[in-house]
Amino acid sequence: MTNTTLFQPYTLGPLTLANRIVMAPLTRNRAGAGLVPSALAATYYAQRASAGLIITEATQVSAQAQGYQDTPGLYTQDQVDGWRKVTDAVHARGGRIFAQLWHVGRVSHVDLHGGIAPVAPSAIRAHTKTFVNNGFADVSEPRALEIHELPGIVEDFRRAAANAIAAGFDGVEIHGANGYLLEQFIKDGANQRTDAYGGSIENRARLLLEVTAAVVEQIGADRTGVRISPVSPAGAISSSDPQPQYDYLVEQLDALGIVYLHVVEGATGGSRDVAPFDFDGLRRRFTRTYLVNNGYDLELASARLAEGKADLFAFGRAFISNPDLVERLKTGAPLAALNPATLYGGGAEGYIDYPALTDARAQ
């Protein structure tokens, strides 16, 4: 047991975080022309800079990586310049911010790619939806990636990580969770390959590990995190062997020296019922910062911290409607409810107009 609290500073690699509360990545579908972060994004993230660490909305590493309408990228100079405005605004308020890098793989739609099929480890359609043409639609049938294409995807992540640092980010998080491309390779419900990237536990982990090694080589292990979701069915993903698969994967990620491991416990945005999966076993296998996510409130996070079960705690939707979430948790103030109608797409409403406590009291 420890007397440490969520509100005390924490050392993450070369960074000092103001507290142990992390703003989880939250897709908001508000990027502008060229998939550049909108002018409102700098305000949105700066309003939430009191988080110990902000992890941005998932940001695609290439045009091929896009799966949802109006999500930002990090592969053009205009996008880098747009993100620079965000990082400058967050740093001006004393915050720390990592970019989450993703490739959606099969969770996409032909209308986002000029009629071309999305890519996946195997040509297996996901029974899930994406946000496109201002509404939700079934994802499209993917094509299987050829083995000669995979080095290019590794390179896309490496280049996006370099762009993130050029844009002023403190580091990056590689998105290996929630049913997107890197997890599609990991889990055998989506990966039925027979080459070096399919079949065995080691082969299915290969692409994520190659991406991580490339990013570490590019920007340093102390600026690289990875997110995983071992048992979440998000994106209609499934695995017949999650425990040995993720025990191996986490050991390999630890060996690469990454600064943190971000673990979604249970179903993304849903149940925390994780039995029979042993998440504590992952914690024992990872020797640096262990960040957890899914259904955490102040009471649960404080208890898990006291037990030494995790180091950092990610809060998602609560940060949307409570830009000053840290202060509200610290003082016991009530949390504002979010408006589901303004979660995805649109402009300022439901994005930068949720008041902080001081503003709400003044009103």
So which residues are the catalytic ones? 180
Q: Answer yes or no: are the C-beta atoms of 127 and 236 closer than 8 Å.
A: yes
**135 CB-contact burial (10 Å; exposed 0-12 / middle 13-18 / buried 19+):** exposed
Structure-block tokens of residue 3: 């007397």
Q: Answer yes or no: are the C-beta atoms of 164 and 173 closer than 8 Å.
A: no
Q: What is the DSSP string of 9-78?
A: -EEETTEEESSSEEEPP-------GGGPPPHHHHHHHHHTTTSSEEEEEEEESSSTT--STT--BSSSHH
Q: What's the CA dihedral at 254, 256, 158, 249 to 10 degrees?
A: -50
CA neighbor of 52 nearest in space, from 93, 87, 96: 96
Q: Answer yes or no: are the C-beta atoms of 170 and 147 closer than 8 Å.
A: no
Cis upstream peptide for 14 (omega within 30°): no
Q: Calculate ∠ Cα 118-237-265, nearest 5°.
A: 130
Rounded Cα distance, 262 and 26, in Å: 14
Rounded Cα distance, 199 and 271, in Å: 29
**φ, ψ at 261 (rounded to 5°):** -120, 125
